[in-house]
Each structure stands twice: as C-alpha cells, then as structure tokens.
Amino acid sequence: MRLFENPRTPRRGLLSTIGLSTAAALLSGCFAAAGPSSGGGDSRLRVAMMQPPRAGLSPLTDDAFKLSRWSTAETLTRLDADGDARPALATSWRQSGKDWTFTLREGVTFHDGTAFTARSVVKSLTVAATASPKPRILDGVTLTARATGPRTVTVTTAAADPLVPQRLSSPQLSILAAKAYRGRTVSPVGAGTGPFELVEVGGTTTATLDRYDRYWGGRAKAAGIDVRFVPDGTARAAALRSGEADIVEAVPVSQARLLDPELIHEVPMPRTNTLYLNAGSGPFEDARVRAAARAAVDAEQIVSSVYEDRADLAEGLLGPALPWAAELREKPVRAAAGDPGGAEITIGTFTDRAELPEVAQILQQQLQAAGFRVKLEVREYATIEADALAGKFDAFVLSRATVLDSGDPAAYLYSDFAGEGSFNLAQLSDPGVDKALTTASQTPAGDARREAVMAAEAAVLATDAAVPMLHERVIQGDAAGVRGAAHDPRERELVTIRTHVK
C-alpha cells in the first residue's frame, strides 16, 4: 500500500516495510520517497496525521485546524506566542464600542484566481456566524459583518467584545472563496489563500496540496504536501523510523523512546488530559459520588507509567503553557466524598490518541478499588464523539486543548462547562458556573480577565464534573532532512512557507 505516493510525482522507489502489529501494518505499509514536482526540482513533503477529517474538512468544524496546519486556509488575524492578535489577511484594526473595523491586505488572491475582497470576508464570516451548530469559537457570541469600504470590514457583536481580533484568528473562521459555499456544505478545495492549495481529498485517508505560486507572502520552499491520515500511533512512528514520512504528527509517548532522539521535538502545550464526569444523569449526578471518583484518581501514576514522565501533573484545568494560571489559581470548595456503593459506570475514550485507552484502563482499576464497578468503551474518535456529547457515558477521558480557538481559555471553559456550551461532555448545568463563565467572557483583556478566568476554573472544579489529570506535551517527529517545520504548542501550524526537505 503506497500511502505517500503522489499521483502527480514519478515514483522513485519503495522502501521496505517493517514489522508491525496487524493494525499498524494495515495503516503503514510502503511509502514512496519524496519526489520532485512537475514544475521544478523542489521536493514534496510527506505528512502523517493522526485524526482523519470528521466533516469533509469543513472550516466550520475542528477539521479547520488541519487546513491551518497545512497553510492552505488563512484568517484575518493570527496569534503570537503570547496569544495576542497580529496581522494576517487584515493589516490593522480598531474598536469603537461593539464595532471592530478591519483593514484588509491588498494583493491577495484565492486559489481559484478570484480576488480577496471585503465581500469575501463578509460571506465567510456570515456563513460561520449563522451556521447550526456554530463554530465553537462563536459559542455565546452574536456576530455580524458588513463591508464598510473596498478594503474594510466592520464586525459587530451583540455586546462589546474585547477578544474579537483573537476570535478571528481561529481557523474555524477562515476566509474562503465564494466557490467554497454550496448550499449547506463548505468545501475548502481550491478555495483558500495560503501558500499551499488543497487540490484533492481522498475521503478520510488522503489529502493532496500543491504549492500556490501566487501566494501574497512569497513562494513556498516545498512543491507540495502529501497527507495521509494514520490513526494508529505505532504506524505513524514506524513511518518516521523507516524514513517513509517526513513529518509525523502526535508521536505516542510509548513510541518516542524507540525513535532517534534527534528526530523527536517535544514542546509544552496547552492541552489537558481530563476525566469528564456526567453530572446530568446516572451515578455522577450526585456531587458526592463525583467527589468520590475525583478522590480515587491517582494522576501521578498515570504521568509516570503511561506518559513516562513526558507530561506535567495537573493542578487545575489550565497548565504550565499559561504561566500566569498557577499564580492566580483559586482553591475550589468541593463537596465531601460519598460512598460509591458499587455504582456501575461506563468510561468512554478513543484510540486516536494512543495513550488514552491505557489511561482509561488505569482509571478503571483506581475507581474499582474505590468501590465502583467500571466498564470501558473504546472506539475511534469519529465514531464515539456524538455519543459522548449526547451524555451516553458516565465518564469520558479526553485530551483537550485549552486555548485552541482564540488563544484565550475563557472560550474553552465556556464551550466545555457552560449549560449552553457546545462541547459540554460533563452535561453540566450549574448557575454558579454559568455566571462565572459569563463574567470571564465579558471582562476586558488583561489582568482582570485572567483573574476572572481563574475564578471560573475554580467554579468548575468545585463541581467535580471535571477531574484534570495532566498537561500533555507536543511530541512531533521530523525526518533528518526536514527544515522549517513548525513546532506549535497550539497545534495551528505544522507545514509553513519555510518547511522543506533538504
């Protein structure tokens, strides 16, 4: 099986397969070496990614982060290392009450050759703002956009929102050409503005991108990107070890120690491994039973065994990637632990992140020792997400990015723990939590907002609807010849204009 052979590129020979488990062998196989593009001598990049698309690469979903990691779809702003908004497709902006006016970059074209205009921006933002469900970045936000000049767009929110520039950096608010929008579907194929054009999508297995030579930011160093989606972590690591992939996303901790240390790049990231407890129904509807589960969890055992100490023990939902969190953390006031009384619970998790099934097994043992009767249900994420969101599990183990969208954790907290949050796995509906989350969302950026965020974190932790266990680190594999690959804690960038194979 030739997972990395580009149909546009002459085949230059196959590498031998290596011994793997049956599942890994089905996903890995033989990979063709990177070949020259038809338009020059530059090499293409072979990228092995973890999760297949779940919504046809629609930018209105989490698939949007694949588009940003391939540098094919772009947004009005981008985030710097501190989480502050910086120019991208917009060059400047100003606020007046509920209005933010953005000046657009000149000389930008979409991959289909059409011009990037104020009308393009209004169309993309309006589709996102009126989608059902809304993109997660717009949870609790009413937003409208209108063209106020040939190169200006004014974004208006129902209430004054200090984070509009940060929100507009979310890949879920990418600006696409008019051709992307057909009825209720949104297709990014040939519709972005980035240095690489998405030219073909092979369902949930492949994606092909070619360099876009009219990119406003200059010419990319690589001729293109050949993507394969490889959910099995062992297979991804094997592809790096055998030289069959140039860049490998999310190398499992268990595989990292088997690889050449020179190929491994480890970066602290704002991602928390959390046990969500269903506060809406079942045994964990009782706060005392939730407290008993929280008291039974030994996160140190998980960090040392499953993550081989390549993770940070969690003191709260927000970790060391946000250095101000520990300084401002408030101690939550929790309910006393009750007697589980042999309560039967089912814990769900998924295989896409290789560590999570093992984490769930350890949690099963710990909770059984505390008096629970525990079943596990483990599937691929694409087949389990809907059931988790519908509250069909008593508990769910999730690896969750905490500042993925706006660079501000208030959006994550609202999405996951507000009664109307779109990703409320804990089925939590608590007036005190909702009030704290609303306050955090409405507080202006700066120290006051950070304090309000930590007060909201304390309110969530007080319910024991979420048990934070550890904060993960990015473990990315780059082949020896790769130069310029991004190692992004927020997982927004991977292949950039500078990335290439030497």
Count helices and strands (H / E) in the chain.
14, 21
Q: What is the pLDDT of residue 14?
A: 28
In whole angstroms, what separates CA 493 from the centre of its chain? 11
Question: Tokens 């969530």 map to which residue?
Answer: 460
Q: What is the pLDDT of residue 15?
A: 28
pLDDT one-digit tens code per residue, 225-244: 999 999 999 999 999 999 99
Cα separation, 229 vs 3, in Å, equals 9
Cα separation, 483 vs 498, in Å, equals 8
Are the C-beta atoms of 418 and 140 separated by less than 8 Å? yes
Taking the CB of residue 189, how many other CB atoms lie within 10 A of it? 21
Mapped onto helix, strand or coil, the DSSP state of residue 172 is helix
pLDDT tens per residue, the chain (502 residues)?
444 544 444 332 322 333 334 334 434 443 444 443 333 347 999 999 999 999 999 999 999 999 999 999 999 999 987 778 999 999 999 999 999 999 999 999 999 999 999 999 999 999 999 999 889 888 778 999 999 999 999 999 998 888 899 999 999 999 999 999 998 899 999 999 999 999 999 999 999 999 999 999 999 999 999 999 999 999 999 999 999 999 999 998 889 989 999 999 988 889 999 999 999 999 999 999 999 999 999 999 999 999 999 899 999 999 988 888 999 999 999 999 999 999 999 999 999 888 999 999 999 999 999 999 999 999 999 999 999 999 999 999 999 989 867 778 988 999 999 999 989 999 999 999 999 999 998 887 778 888 999 999 999 999 999 999 999 988 999 999 999 999 998 889 999 999 999 9
Taking the domains of the chain in order of start, what are their residue ranges? 22-70+194-246+479-501, 77-178, 269-473
pLDDT one-digit tens code per residue, 153-171: 999 999 888 889 999 999 9
Are the C-beta atoms of 245 and 27 separated by less than 8 Å? no
Q: What is the pLDDT of residue 38?
A: 36
> Could you tell me if residue 226 is left (phi over 0), alpha (psi between -120 and 50 degrees) or otherwise beta?
beta
Please, where are the H alpha helices in 159-286? 164-167, 233-241, 253-256
CATH 2.130.10.10 fits 77-178, yes or no: no
> Across the strands, what pairs with 2?
30
Q: Length of the chain, please?
A: 502
Q: What is the pLDDT of residue 407?
A: 79
The secondary structure element, H or E, covering residue 257 is none
Cα separation, 64 vs 154, in Å, equals 23
Q: What is the pLDDT of residue 4?
A: 52
Q: What is the pLDDT of residue 18?
A: 33
Extract long-range pairs of 176-185: CB within 8 Å, 24+ residues apart: 176/59, 176/73, 176/110, 176/120, 176/124, 177/110, 177/111, 177/112, 177/114, 177/120, 178/114, 178/120, 178/123, 179/112, 179/114, 181/123, 181/127, 185/56, 185/58
Question: Whose CA is closest to 415, among 305, 325, 403?
Answer: 403
Q: Which two tokens stand for residue 71?
A: 């540098």
pTM of the predicted structure, to 2 decimals? 0.73
Name the architecture of domain 22-70+194-246+479-501: 3-Layer(aba) Sandwich (3.40)
Q: What is the pLDDT of residue 404?
A: 62
Q: For the chain, what is the mean pLDDT?
A: 90
CATH 3.20.20.10 fits 269-473, yes or no: no
Question: Whose CA is closest to 20, among 287, 337, 232?
Answer: 232
Strand 44-49, strand 224-229: pairing = parallel
In degrees and rounded to multiples of 5, residue 280 shows phi and psi of -95, -20
Are the C-beta atoms of 121 and 145 separated by less than 8 Å? yes
DSSP at 213: T
Cα separation, 382 vs 389, in Å, equals 12
Counting Cβ atoms within 10 Å, is residue 300 exposed (0-12), middle (13-18) or buried (19+)?
A: exposed
Q: What is the pLDDT of residue 174?
A: 98
Cα separation, 47 vs 23, in Å, equals 19
